[in-house]
Amino acid sequence: MDELVNKRINEVIKGNQDAFGEIVSLFQHRLYHVCYRMLGNPQEAEDIAQEAFVRAYVNIHTYDQKRKFSTWLYRIATNLCIDRIRKKKPDFYLDATVPGTDGLNMYSQISATGDLPEEEVERMETQERVQYEIGRLPDKYRTVIILRYLEELPLQEISDILELPLGTVKTRVHRGREALRKQMGNM
């Protein structure tokens, strides 16, 4: 597959835009899936995954063909997702008390990031619950957990994608799993 990809990339570099369509076809589902899990929203996932392919096209000459193309592509996409998540975050501390609300904090005001009542969580179907629990993980753990468990990538590849030392990736997988265990309690 890598050989086919590199052949198409060389055609793209020569100016054949159609060859890029074949690359997009090959990787569209994997890339969309990562973005969907990171962002939890189909419209945003489509926008960001498409943007990632556009960036890959524009910067194709910087791709080192000795390395895996999917690693490079995942890196572009995860960076875009993290930027998007940061931009969405409100510019105040979520656990700060809202004045005049008798102890309510910002978490209780933002349903997307706040915890849902237990009965509601229990009613969720498995797929919905997976997305809910992933969405509650802190960003830096969420990324490694998605790559490790949903994309089933080896730790070394995750380290290449995120440009983090292998030890840091391991620590984040550990902490992510730990966070998940705590937030799920006894299922």
Partner 1 sequence: MNTCQEPVIHLMHAYLDGDISRQDEQMLQAHLAECPHCREMMDELKMSALFLKSAAPVNAPEGFVSGVMARLPKEKSQAGFQR
Residues that bind partner 1 (CB under 8 A): 14-17, 20-21, 24-25, 28-29, 31-33, 36-37, 42, 46, 49-51, 53-54, 57-58, 126-127, 129-131, 133-134, 145, 149-150, 155, 170, 173-174, 177-178, 180-181, 184, 186-187
Give strand pairing partners of 97: 105
Residue closest to 162 by CA, chosen among 71, 28, 31, 32: 71
DSSP code for 153: -
- Distance, CA of 102 to CA of 121 (rounded, Å): 26
Closest to partner 1 by CB, 33 vs 75, is 33
Query: Closer CB to partner 1, residue 26 or residue 106?
Result: 26
What are the backbone dihedrals phi and psi of residue 105, each rounded to the nearest 5 degrees, phi first? -110, 175
- The smaller minimum CB distance to partner 1, of residues 89 and 174, is found at 174
CB of 65 to partner 1, least distance (A): 20
Pick between residue 94 and residue 180 the one whose CB is nearest to partner 1: 180
Q: Which residue has the tokens 């004045």?
A: 99
In sequence order, the β-bridge partners of residue 148 are: none
Smallest Cα–Cα separation from 143: which of 83, 68, 56, 57? 83
| Of residues 25 and 62, the one with the C-beta less far from partner 1 | 25
* Contacts with 102 (C-beta within 8 Å, 6 or more apart), sequence order: none
Tokens 């592509």, residue located: 73
